[in-house]
Amino acid sequence: MPKIPRDISGSKLVRLLKKYNYEITRKSGSHVRLTSMYKGKKHNITIPNHKIIKIGTLNNILNDLAGYLEIDKNKLINDLFSSKY
């Protein structure tokens, strides 16, 4: 089981999610709203633009992404973080 990185920033996660066609649609304070049509339907996700995203928050984001992309969360973690981002 791959480990979720403990030191990823919000801006780095936003860049990694471009792989799944996520684009910034709104910035509000310290949060960024991303939108994707990767699976043919619109999906929005909000990413905190912090220096380090808390592990629980990142876990919830990854669960939401895996559900939308219809892939296993472990596969998603490997795809996003396999190279040292």
The pLDDT confidence band at residue 3, using thresholds 50, 70 and 90, is confident
Q: Are 42 and 33 in contact (CB under 8 A)?
A: no
Looking at the structure of the chain, the number of domains it has is 1
Q: Does residue 27 belong to any structural domain of this protein?
A: yes
The domain spanning residue 74 has which CATH number? 3.30.920.30
pLDDT tens-digit map of 8-56: 999 999 999 999 999 999 999 999 999 999 889 999 999 999 999 999 9
The pLDDT confidence band at residue 77, using thresholds 50, 70 and 90, is very high
> Is the model's pLDDT at 84 over the cut of 80?
no
> Is the model's pLDDT at 85 over the cut of 60?
no
User: Among candidates 53, 10, 16, 55, which has minimal Cα distance to 28?
Assistant: 10
Q: What is the pTM of this model?
A: 0.90
Host domain of residue 57: 10-81
